[in-house]
Chains A and B, each alone.
Chain A
Amino acid sequence: MSLNKNMRVFIVDDYNTMLRILRNLLRQLEINQVEEATDGETAFDAMLRTPPELIISDWNMAPMTGLELLRKVRAEPKLRHIPFIMVTAESKTENVIAAKQAGVSNYIVKPFNAETLRAKIASVMTVAA
């Protein structure tokens, strides 16, 4: 399944290196419209101004965690419909369940490879279409 190369993606991670990795992997998928933030609050404010078509977020961030960002996004009428992929090292069953209950669209465990990222994006964008 081919991806919509023109989609606008917002990536959130408090590790600049991980943001850079995600941005580069997305560029290899020819997805170039990428905005980013290193914390949930900044990301939320930016997304309210210009809602993206896909959100990819880390979980373990401060002061707002990825899970809190997810809940905030799902509670906001302007953003609640946007697919949200959690990319995280938190891989315990209870984490996945909590994210699912909060409305996550898909879940990628770090470390991940480019193919997993591509497949998960394709999966959530197909459901959203």
Chain B
Amino acid sequence: MASQNTQLPDAHDYLDRVIAELRALKAPQKDTLVGVLQYLSDHIRATRAEIGAIKGGADGDQLFGSTADELEEIVTETARAANRIMDAAEAIEGVAAKVDPDSATALTDAVTNIYEASSFQDITGQRITKVVRALQSMESKLQALAEAFGPIEGDAPAAVEGDAALLNGPQLSSGATSQDDIDALFATAVA
């Protein structure tokens, strides 16, 4: 009998042996039990394959880690954009102090609307942070599950090739190529 320390692959092999031994029996009641055990065995095999595919991820990246990084980048980018919006609104407010009262009121009202709307960044930031935490929690649970299943071979997704491999979306700022680097590369690259 499989002990408590036995990994799932061992238990799966054990289950398959039990199924084989039951099939060899001539007892008429065995069919239902064999059917249930076979279903369990197939289910474990399919789940192992699915977890292997998730573990592999695109280009071998950690899927969850990469997704969390992308989400955190959204927070950074929206904060940067919100601050630029605020810079512009403050400049407009400065102009409002130098124009006629009616125009000043119109400008100030518009600037107030911009200030109010800029709080979206705080709200979206908090929501995205919640999603990142949920992803990190799922990642650790999946990792524990993958370890319980033991080594999984041959089920990593096929690497993306050709033009499709060039579609990676925006780069994270930590690994991004600057416009200056691109200009330099563009100036020297052979067509």
Bind each other: yes
Q: Does A111 contact B (CB under 8 A)?
A: yes
Please determine whether A60 and B126 come into contact, CB atoms closer than 8 angstroms.
Answer: yes
The stretch from B43-51, B112-120, B174-182 touching chain A is B112-120
CA distance A114 to B79 in the complex (A): 21
Bin the interface of chain B by size: 20 to 34
- A28 and B83 contact, CB distance less than 8 A: no
Mask for B88-124, Cβ within 8 A of A = 1, else 0?
0110010000000000000010011001111111110
* B79 contacts across to A, CB distance below 8 A: 15-17
A2 neighbours in B (Cβ, 8 Å) = none
Determine whether the beta carbon of A28 is less than 8 Å from that of B123. no
What CA separation (Å) do A24 and B126 show in the bound complex?
A: 22
* Interface status of A25 (Cβ within 8 A of chain B): yes
Describe B's contact surface by its main secondary structure: helix
Contact in complex: A111, B120 (CB < 8 Å)? yes
Q: Does B8 contact A (CB under 8 A)?
A: no
A18 touches B112 (CB 8 A): no
Closest-by-CB residue of B relative to A20 is: B86
Chain B interface residues (CB < 8 Å from chain A): 79, 82-83, 86, 89-90, 93, 108, 111-112, 115-123, 125-126
Q: Which 10 A-B pairs have the closest CB atoms?
A: A111-B119, A18-B122, A15-B122, A17-B82, A113-B116, A114-B112, A21-B115, A24-B115, A17-B121, A89-B126
